[in-house]
A = this chain, B = another copy of it.
Amino acid sequence: MDDFVRIVEVGPRDGLQNEARPVDTADKIELIRQLSLTGLRTIEATSFVSPRWVPQLADAAEVYTGITRVPGIAYPVLVPNEQGYDRALAVGVQEVAVFTAASETFNRTNTNAGIDESLARFAPILERAKADGVKVRGYVSTVLGCPYQGEVAVSEVVRVARALHEMGCYEISLGDTIGVGTPRKARAMLKAVASELPMAALAVHFHDTYGQALANIDACLEEGVRVVDSAVSGAGGCPYAKGASGNVASEDVVYMLHGIGMRTGIDLPALATTGRWLAARLGRETGSKTGKALAAT
C-alpha cells in the first residue's frame, strides 16, 4: 500500500468561509504564500460563490490574482455555477471544485435546488472545463449526517459520488460537513463508495465538531484512502452549531500521518507556525493541538 498521503489544504477557502471576523485580502494572500512554502501540493485558494452568500470571500478574484502560484502546487477554487466558473476562468484559474450534498434537504435548504438539479447545473461546467483544460474536483457534503434530516443513506452518497465521477470530476471529496461521524460509520461509507469508484479518485473531508475527525481519518486510511482535506489551525466553525470546532487541523493530521509512517512531504513545524500566524490574525489561539504543543516545546 502506498504510503504517500496528499493533504488538500482547505483553510483559505472552507476555513475562512466559516470565520465571522473579516480577514484582509493581503492576509489571505500572505496565508497562501506561507502555505506554499510548507510542502503542500494542493491549496484551495478561495471561492467564487456569490459575495451575498459568503461576504468573507467576496475578494476571490483579488486573492487569486494576488497570489504567486508556485509550480507543482495546485490552487483550486470553489465554483457554485457557470457564473462562478466564468469569474474564475477570467482570472486564470486552472482547477475548480463543484459541490453538492448527499442530503436532499440540505441541498434544497442551502442552494435552493435538489441534488439532481445541482448535478444538472454542473454538467455544462464539466464540459467547458474539459475544453478549457481545467481540472474539476467534486465535493459531496453531509455524507455522514445532515443537520436537517439527520441520517443520510450511504446509497445516496454512493449515487452522488458516482454521478460526479461520471461527469468527469477527477477526485471526489467525501465530506462530513457537520462532523457527526464516528470511525466505523466513516469507514463503512468510504468502503461503499470505493466499491463503485476507484479509491485513488476519493478523498475524505472531516469537520471536528465532536472531536472525531482524526479517528475517522485513521479508519479511512486503513480502508485505503490517500487524500485528506484539512485546514491549517483548524480554521472555520460550524454554521449549524455556533461555537463548535471547524475543519480538522492540518497540523494534527500531518502529525498523525508521520507518526504512523506515512509521507506527506510537509514541513510540520513550518505548517504549525503558519497556523499560529493565522490564528493570531483571527484573534484567537490556534485550533490545532499539535500547533499548541509545538509552540510550547
Residues in A lying within 8 Å of B, measured CB to CB: 179, 181-185, 208-212, 214-215, 217-219, 238, 240-245, 249, 252, 255-256, 259-261, 288-290, 292-293, 295-297
Contact = CB atoms under 8 A, between A and B. Distances in A.
A181 B259 CA distance: 7
Nearest to A261: B184
A43 to B, nearest CB: 21
Given A181-B259, A183-B256, A259-B185, A242 B212 contact: no
Contacts of A249: 211
16 contacts: A182-B260, A183-B218, A183-B256, A184-B261, A185-B259, A211-B214, A211-B249, A211-B252, A211-B290, A212-B252, A212-B255, A214-B214, A215-B215, A215-B218, A243-B296, A245-B292
B293 A238 contact: yes
A66 B168 CA distance: 67
Contact of A217 (B184, B215, B252): B215
Nearest to A255: B210
A181 B256 CA distance: 8
A288 B28 CA distance: 29
Contact of A260 (B183, B208, B217): B183
Contacts of A242: 296
Number of copies of this chain in the oligomer?
A: 2
Contacts of A243: 292, 295-296
A293 B252 contact: no
Contacts of A238: 293, 296
A218 B184 CA distance: 10
The 10 A-B pairs at the shortest CB distance, nearest first, are namely A182-B259, A211-B289, A211-B252, A241-B296, A214-B215, A244-B293, A215-B215, A215-B218, A184-B260, A210-B290
B295 A255 contact: no
Contacts of A219: 218
Nearest to A259: B182
B184 A289 contact: no
A209, A260, A293 pick with most chain B CB within 10 angstroms = A293
Contacts of A255: 182, 210-212
A3 B256 CA distance: 27
A75 to B, nearest CB: 27
B214 A244 contact: no
A213 B182 CA distance: 14
Contacts of A256: 182-183, 210-212, 215
Nearest to A290: B210
A233 B155 CA distance: 36
A241 B293 CA distance: 6
Given A242-B296, A245-B293, A288 B183 contact: no
A184, A249, A261 pick with most chain B CB within 10 angstroms = A184
A184 B212 CA distance: 17
